[in-house]
Chain A
Amino acid sequence: DAGVIQSPRHEVTEMGQEVTLRCKPISGHNSLFWYRQTMMRGLELLIYFNNNVPIDDSGMPEDRFSAKMPNASFSTLKIQPSEPRDSAVYFCASSHRSSGANVLTFGAGSRLTVL
């Protein structure tokens, strides 16, 4: 298994531009998470999906952020318009939710720089 795949690995854009981050979870996993890593807040949960359905998006900072999961093998996180304070590393993670413990597998992250 190739693990959780994120693209792009690095993105540099200018303020006001639209940014789309992509994630392919591990096949068979039914939960998907988007996190943002910053120096001040560490790993901050933005949103998570169970069986492609958004469960909790209370961590999404503003209406400029949106996330979709059109099918079990793909998710996007979109920022429109982007701002310099959105600069961070964004991680996608997936897991197989069962009645037992939940262990997340992370992708390598997408480093976003907004100038």
Chain B
Amino acid sequence: DQQVKQNSPSLSVQEGRISILNCDYTNSMFDYFLWYKKYPAEGPTFLISISSIKDKNEDGRFTVFLNKSAKHLSLHIVPSQPGDSAVYFCAASALANNDMRFGAGTRLTVKP
């Protein structure tokens, strides 16, 4: 079963605008959430994370928002750059154990 869902397989935005990628989860035991970025022919690389005790975490152009009651998180990229074009994976885990579940990914294309 898909415990982490990314319902948008793709997203296209103009350079300089905001990119918003969404993720939903079903397991209420999840208390740590991450976003990974993946370029073709490479493995995913860690981008940003947030724990359930926060509702927002910011790192430069990247901000992750967490809505625990809705079991929803989002990644905002502002401003978007062509180099941000990649597949973005949402991931979730419970700190009590160690497994990490990923969504299906969203392919972001930033047009110049």
Contacts and interface: CB of A to CB of B under 8 A. Distances in A.
Contact of A35 (B2, B45, B102): B102
A107 B43 CA distance: 5
A33 B36 CA distance: 15
Interface in B10-49: 32, 34, 36, 41-46, 49
B98 A50 contact: yes
A42 B102 contact: yes
Contacts of B43: 4, 91, 93, 106-109
Given A4-B43, A41-B2, A109-B43, A104 B100 contact: yes
Given A42-B104, A45-B102, A102-B98, 11 more contacts: A31-B98, A43-B44, A45-B99, A55-B97, A55-B99, A101-B32, A101-B51, A102-B93, A106-B44, A108-B43, A109-B41
24 contacts: A33-B100, A40-B104, A42-B89, A42-B103, A43-B89, A43-B102, A43-B103, A44-B102, A45-B101, A45-B102, A48-B99, A50-B98, A55-B98, A91-B44, A95-B98, A101-B51, A101-B95, A102-B93, A103-B34, A103-B46, A103-B49, A105-B46, A106-B36, A109-B43
